[in-house]
Amino acid sequence: MAGCCGHDAKFDGVSDDYKRRLWIVIALNATMFFVEITAGHLAKSQALQADALDFAGDALTYGISLAVIGASLRARTNAALFKGVSLLLMGLWVFGSTVYRVFYAGVPTAEIMGVVGFLALLTNLASVLLLVRYKDGDANVRSVWLCSRNDAIGNVAVIFAALGVWGTATGWPDLIVATVMAGLFLSSAFQIVRQAMIERQEMTKHKHLQV
Vertex 146: Cα angle to 141 and 148 (nearest 5): 100
Q: What is the pTM of this model?
A: 0.67
CA separation for the pair 127, 123 (Å, rounded)? 6
CA distances from 170 to 54, 125, 163, 164, 182 (A): 24, 29, 11, 8, 20
Predicted local confidence at residue 113, as pLDDT: 80
Question: Which one-letter amino acid corresponds to residue 16?
Answer: D
Angle of CA points 60, 62, 65, to nearest 5°: 115
- The count of other CB atoms within 10 Å of the CB of residue 204 is 11
Q: Which domains does the chain have, with CATH numbers?
A: 16-210 (1.20.1510)
* pLDDT tens digits, one per residue of 115-169: 888 888 898 889 888 888 877 777 777 777 777 777 787 778 778 888 888 888 7
9 pLDDT above the threshold of 60: no
